[in-house]
């Protein structure tokens, strides 16, 4: 090919080659096309002006910029995980440590607990099996108490009201000490303190400041019992009960399983009497006479609603019936007809020595009468133990009333509030708040601002119990220790240390505690070489129990400080004799109580979950549904159906409750079956005005309705007026249908039927086939799963489940279950994996299959039988949820579990729809890091409670119970490491581990030695049933029939 040397000109200029062109030929762009920035108005700037950005620079910068930005964008997020520089000896990442400690609250709960910590933060509370008081379980509040620790609204250091700022401890110490030394009456106002060492600290403070006295008061007081015992036996105590020894229990407005002090132990004992089985065909019989349907009443075999105004007469009537038969002298009170009263008396007499009557009344006369009955029944000794009093409630209403009067009179110079919030929970709290201004120095140990603390000059925040050393003596001779499981989150200080500092003994409380134990408790211990051995053992065990009824010879001030007129010293271990004046009590009862009161009466009660409201800012407790009404996030006026009918009230309608001389209260009504006719009930613990976000202004405060009658606080009002307001406020309930609709979901029988036939009450459905009727499991389209290694199963005894709900909160904490708030509960979206279904019986005929028949079944009886059924994932062998998931996000394990892979879930909710038990929960929103759900999962501190072994679920995924698979895996690994099989009891689900009555038993069905396998074996085709086994779901959970100790079983639905 020829060379082609054609030349093209770029323009006519090149061709002519004129000088202008040659000069600028090396410039790529001619001047008039310059890419360089031109300054305005100066078109002839020299081209070598370096201030302009040329194209290449621009590209360079662009390149650099894009790279830099993309590099920055690719940077991994900064994680704030800080590794241990020096690893603490006992902490291994991902291995949990357990420390024994003690949970006590001002509502009267005591549990000896094990605190599970992970990497130095407490994440779970477990019962301490070494305690003989609460070996099996804890209360709901103990389970939820972790969130009190991780409450970001706690005070972060000492607070001064004058400046509304935090300050240093030196600063407040100086100011408080100097003010204390100015003299004048000093009052330490506290709720019941069961810590002997703390009481010693207070004594020391009092000896330093002789003008000081200690006023003990309880928001919900049991002062009546204490005073009555003082009058009857010369012992100003609440006795301890041993319900396990009682064959007949008669409760008169006594919620001993729910809101009573020491209810966890009571439940444990009660549960033992309720269990029946192959070798035990007897159970206790429980009568309950009460106004509200309490948790205890719901468990009773016979329950009669009574008005508060009848309470005393019921006790007196019972007394008369017993006295006539036992040679006691009958008293002269109007008799009244109450259902089951005769039967109760007859049974009590027949079971003399194994029968007990308990009353929740705070009226000394009523309690005296109850003491008299128990005395006649020989309950003192076998069932009631006056020598081992319960210290959980020591409040003295009259002492508190005196104090309030002193404050009013301006006689108090300084007051220190310790676990006390009288502005909120004293009936005359509002007035007290105004009078409090007359006190010069007001100090509170509240850990966060509450109604009282906010009025105090200084708040010296106490540690949370999980951060602090402490001890406790819940019952005489039963000691337990509390130890810190995390270093203080904020700059708080133990209240004891504050008191010691102010009394001029600036000692750390740990040393003080140890010394006190060395001096006072160690001497009563035997078998230890040194105090250190004793201390270490006690600290390890969490408890030290002398176990003998005789109390140790303690130099610490006697727990019973209630001024007693008889002034009988707490004699030790001696027999007691009843010396109460029955006739005086009877005449007082006769004048106070009426057989037939016409006015509407009010009963004020405490919720099983929230208690006295101290922990109102705990979202877990707020969301914990009341076991009976299944309502949460607020209180309400419980009214009987009859009143709803006569007043034409519907649920959620707001009524105004007027009591003469009191501020009226406006609350929505809840129609409560079992509520005595002509009475209403309101729970205390709500209506906190100064609390954190979760607790503030939830419900209304009912404490002002409590009446002080001169000796004790009365939790009833004989005459209230109810007016409709026409407004509505929806009550958040997790269950809105209350009857069982005659379905065999809960199967029950009465004791006699059961004794005759262990399978009594069982529903045995048969499926009709061509070869005749067959059992549901016998025909199946499924290939059975084979479990070769383990088969995890559960047995739930409906007879010993009392419905307390500790398992629910335990599950919440263990499995990082989000709190969703009132509106979402109203929307029926609470996230609880485990719930306790509560069903009321109905008066309708279960055989009536007509439309009206079904409508009648929906109506609960006025005084219903109640049954509780813990409902959680049944881990079906033929799981309806598994087959329908399009992406196999839920699948079956080789150990009988129904697993959830949250990551795989795309959220079609088909599984939840197809679940016959409705135990699946869907994350409708993102419940963590979401302002809309501003609970513990929305802040860094609150998130510390999360269990690192359980995924926090994102929005759009389904979740459910997996039998705490993380615990199963851990247990299996532990066993594997030790080259053995897991031992029964080693792997326990969160629910089973905290059940006070051991109603939930979990284990390996393939292990013939396991309790669960044995129960299943023993109860096969007897009491054990699977819910809905007619649809062949093959659950891994068996329920044991509910047995009621009734003469005739209720044939109604």
Partner 1 sequence: MSQVVSPVREPLVIGGKTYADVTEDVCRQVEGKPTKLWLICFTLALITLGYGSYCLFYTWWTGIGVWGLNKTVGWAWDITNFVWWVGIGHAGTLISAILLLFRQKWRTSINRAAEAMTIFAVLCAASFILAHMGRPWLAHWALPLPNTYGSLWVNFNSPLVWDVFAISTYLTVSLVFWYIGLIPDLATIRDRARNKVSKFVYGAMSFGWDGSAKTWARYESVSLILAGLSTPLVLSVHTIVSFDFATSVIPGWHTTIFPPYFVAGAIFSGFAMVLTLMLITREVFNLKEYITIGHMESMNKIIMLTGSIVGVAYITELFIAWYSGVQYEQYAFLNRATGPYWWAYWSMMTCNVISPQLFWIRKIRRSVAATFILSIIVNIGMWFERFVIIVTSLHRDYLPSSWAMFYPTMYDIGDYIFSFGLFFTLFLLFAKFLPVVNMAEVKAILKSSSAKVAEKRGAAVQTDFQARPAFNKDVE
Q: Which residues bind partner 1 (CB under 8 A)?
A: 735-743, 745, 824, 827-830, 835, 837-839, 849, 851, 854-855, 869, 871, 880, 883-888, 904-910, 912-914, 916-918, 920-926, 954-958, 1027-1028, 1031, 1033
Token duo for residue 909: 């909710």
- 3-state helix/strand/coil string of 537-562: HHHHHCEEECCCCCCCCCCCCCCCCC
Q: 332-346 b/e with 16+ CB inside 10 Å = b?
A: ebeebebebbeebbe
Q: Choose between 129 and 767: whose C-beta lies nearer to partner 1.
A: 767
- CA 762 from chain center: how many Å? 33
Four-residue CA torsion sign, 875, 880, 881, 885: positive
Q: Which residues face 389 on adjacent strands?
A: none
- CA 346 from chain center: how many Å? 37
Q: Choose between 322 and 804: whose C-beta lies nearer to partner 1.
A: 804
Sheet holding 384-390, edge to edge: 238-241, 384-390, 470-475, 478-482, 543-545
Q: Choose between 547 and 904: whose C-beta lies nearer to partner 1.
A: 904
- Taking CA atoms, 31 is separated from 34, 48, 52, 118, 698, in Å, by 5, 12, 14, 73, 78
Q: Choose between 431 and 882: whose C-beta lies nearer to partner 1.
A: 882
Q: Choose between 341 and 860: whose C-beta lies nearer to partner 1.
A: 860
**Between 509-516 and 495-502, two packed helices, what is the crossing angle to 10 degrees?**
90
| Residue 832 to residue 961: CA distance in whole angstroms | 9
Four-residue CA torsion sign, 289, 290, 296, 298: positive
| Cβ–Cβ under 8 Å, residues 999 and 800 | yes
Q: Choose between 381 and 853: whose C-beta lies nearer to partner 1.
A: 853
| Residue 137 to residue 114: CA distance in whole angstroms | 11
Annotate 490-520 with DSSP letters as a single string. SS---HHHHHHHHTT----HHHHHHHHIIII
Q: How far is the CB of 847 from partner 1 (least distance, A)?
A: 11
Q: Choose between 479 and 839: whose C-beta lies nearer to partner 1.
A: 839
Q: Choose between 367 and 1033: whose C-beta lies nearer to partner 1.
A: 1033
Tokens 């108090």 found at? 412
Q: What count of Cα atoms within 13 Å lies in the side-chain half-sphere of residue 11?
A: 6
| Cβ–Cβ under 8 Å, residues 361 and 309 | no
How far does the chain reach from its first CA to its final CA, in angstroms?
109
Annotate 355-396 with DSSP letters as a single string. EEEEE----HHHHHHHHHHHHHHT-BTTTEEEEEEE-S----
| Residue 276 to residue 615: CA distance in whole angstroms | 36
User: Please, what is the Cα angle at 405 between 711 and 613, to 5 degrees?
Assistant: 70
Q: Which residues face 443 on adjacent strands?
A: 416, 458
| Residue 392 to residue 112: CA distance in whole angstroms | 13
């Amino acid at each position: 090919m020829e060379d082609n040397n054609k030349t093209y000109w770029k323009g006519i200029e090149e061709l002519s080659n004129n000088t202008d062109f040659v000069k600028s030929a090396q410039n790529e762009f001619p001047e008039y096309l310059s890419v360089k920035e031109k300054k305005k108005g100066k078109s002839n700037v020299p081209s070598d002006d370096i201030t302009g950005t040329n194209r290449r620079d621009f590209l360079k910068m662009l390149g650099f910029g894009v790279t830099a930005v993309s590099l920055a964008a690719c940077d991994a997020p900064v994680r704030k995980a800080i590794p241990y520089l020096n690893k603490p000896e006992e902490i291994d990442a991902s291995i949990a440590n357990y420390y024994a400690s003690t949970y006590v609250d001002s509502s009267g709960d005591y549990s000896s607990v094990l605190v599970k910590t992970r990497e130095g933060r407490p994440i779970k509370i477990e019962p301490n099996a070494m305690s003989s008081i609460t070996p099996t379980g804890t209360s709901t509040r103990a389970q939820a108490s972790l969130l009190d620790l991780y409450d970001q609204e706690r005070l972060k250091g000492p607070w001064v009201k004058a400046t509304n700022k935090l300050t240093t401890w030196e600063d407040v110490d100086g100011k408080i000490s100097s003010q204390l030394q100015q003299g004048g009456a000093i009052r330490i106002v506290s709720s019941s303190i069961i810590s002997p060492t703390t009481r010693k600290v207070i004594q020391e403070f009092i000896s330093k400041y002789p003008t000081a006295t200690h006023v003990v008061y309880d928001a919900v007081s049991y002062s009546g019992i204490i005073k009555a015992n003082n009058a009857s036996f010369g012992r100003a105590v609440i006795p301890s009960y041993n319900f396990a020894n009682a064959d007949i229990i008669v409760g008169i407005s006594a919620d001993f399983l729910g809101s009573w002090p020491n209810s966890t132990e009571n439940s444990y004992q009660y549960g033992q009497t309720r269990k029946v089985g192959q070798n035990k065909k007897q159970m206790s019989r429980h009568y309950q006479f009460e106004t509200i349907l309490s948790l205890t009443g719901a468990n009773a075999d016979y329950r009669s609603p009574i008005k508060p105004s009848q309470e005393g007469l019921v006790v007196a009537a019972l007394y008369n019936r017993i006295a006539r038969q036992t040679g006691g002298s009958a008293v002269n009170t109007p008799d009244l007809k109450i259902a089951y009263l005769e039967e109760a008396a007859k049974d009590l007499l027949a079971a003399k020595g194994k029968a007990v009557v308990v009353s929740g009344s705070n009226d000394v006369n009523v309690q005296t009468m109850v003491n008299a009955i128990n005395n006649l029944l020989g309950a003192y000794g076998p069932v009631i133990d006056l020598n081992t009093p319960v210290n959980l409630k020591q409040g003295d209403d009259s002492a508190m009333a005196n104090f309030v009067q002193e404050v009013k009179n301006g006689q108090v110079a300084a007051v220190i509030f310790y676990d006390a919030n009288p502005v909120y929970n004293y009936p005359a709290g509002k007035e007290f708040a105004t009078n409090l201004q007359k006190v010069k120095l007001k100090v509170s140990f509240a850990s966060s601002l509450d109604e009282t603390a906010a009025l105090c000059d200084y708040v010296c925040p106490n540690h949370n119990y999980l951060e602090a050393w402490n001890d406790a003596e819940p019952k005489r001779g039963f000691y337990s220790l509390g130890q810190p499981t995390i270093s203080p989150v904020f700059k708080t200080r133990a209240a004891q240390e504050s008191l010691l500092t102010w009394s001029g003994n600036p000692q750390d409380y740990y040393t003080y505690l140890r010394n006190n134990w060395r001096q006072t408790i160690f001497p009563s211990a035997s078998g230890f070489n040194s105090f250190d051995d004793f201390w270490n053992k006690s600290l390890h065990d969490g408890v030290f129990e002398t176990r003998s009824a005789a109390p140790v010879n303690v130099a610490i001030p006697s727990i019973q400080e209630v001024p007693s007129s008889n002034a009988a010293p707490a004699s030790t271990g001696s027999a007691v004799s009843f010396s109460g004046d029955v006739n005086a009590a009877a005449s007082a009862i006769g004048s106070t109580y009426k057989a037939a009161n016409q006015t509407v009466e009010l009963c004020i009660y405490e919720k099983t979950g929230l208690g006295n409201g101290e922990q109102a800012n705990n979202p877990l407790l707020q969301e914990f549904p009341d076991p009976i009404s299944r309502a949460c996030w607020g209180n309400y006026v419980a009214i009987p159906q009859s009143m709803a009918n006569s007043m034409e009230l519907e649920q959620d309608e707001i009524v105004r409750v007027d009591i003469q001389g009191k501020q009226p209260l406006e609350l929505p009504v809840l129609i409560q079956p079992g509520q005595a006719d002509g009475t209403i009930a309101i729970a205390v613990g709500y209506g906190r005005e100064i609390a954190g976000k979760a607790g503030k202004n939830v419900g209304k405060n009912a404490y002002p309705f409590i009446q002080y009658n001169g000796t004790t606080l009365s939790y009833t009002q004989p005459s209230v007026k109810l007016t409709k307001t026409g407004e509505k406020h929806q009550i958040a309930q997790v269950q809105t249908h209350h009857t069982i609709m005659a379905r065999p979901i809960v199967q029950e029988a009465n004791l006699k039927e059961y004794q005759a036939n262990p399978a009594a009450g069982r529903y045995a459905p048969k499926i009709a086939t061509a070869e005749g009727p067959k059992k549901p499991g016998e025909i199946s389209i499924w290939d059975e799963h084979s479990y070769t290694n383990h088969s995890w199963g559960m047995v739930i005894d409906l007879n010993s489940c009392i419905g307390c709900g500790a398992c629910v909160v335990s599950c919440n904490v263990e499995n990082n279950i989000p709190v969703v708030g009132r509106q979402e509960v109203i929307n029926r979206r609470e996230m609880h994996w485990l719930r306790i279904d509560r069903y009321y019986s109905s008066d309708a005929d279960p055989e009536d299959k007509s439309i009206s028949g079904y409508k009648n079944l929906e109506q609960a009886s006025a005084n219903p039988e109640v049954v509780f059924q813990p409902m959680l994932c049944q881990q079906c062998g033929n799981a309806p949820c598994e087959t329908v998931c399009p992406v196999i996000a839920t699948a079956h394990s080789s150990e009988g579990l129904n697993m959830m892979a949250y990551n795989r879930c795309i959220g079609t909710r088909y599984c939840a729809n197809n679940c016959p038990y409705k135990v699946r929960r869907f994350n409708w929103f993102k419940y963590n890091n979401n302002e809309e759900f501003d609970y513990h999962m929305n802040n860094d501190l609150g998130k510390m409670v999360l269990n690192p072994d359980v995924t926090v679920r994102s929005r759009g995924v389904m979740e459910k119970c997996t039998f705490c698979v993380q615990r199963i895996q851990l247990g299996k690994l532990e066993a594997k490491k030790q080259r053995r099989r897991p031992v029964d009891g080693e792997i326990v689900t969160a629910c089973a581990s905290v059940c006070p009555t051991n109603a939930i038993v979990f284990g390996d069905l393939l292990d013939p030695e396991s309790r669960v396998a044995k129960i299943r074996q023993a109860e096969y085709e007897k009491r054990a049933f699977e819910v809905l086994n007619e649809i062949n779901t093959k659950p891994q959970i068996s329920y044991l029939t509910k047995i009621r100790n009734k003469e005739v079983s209720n044939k109604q639905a």
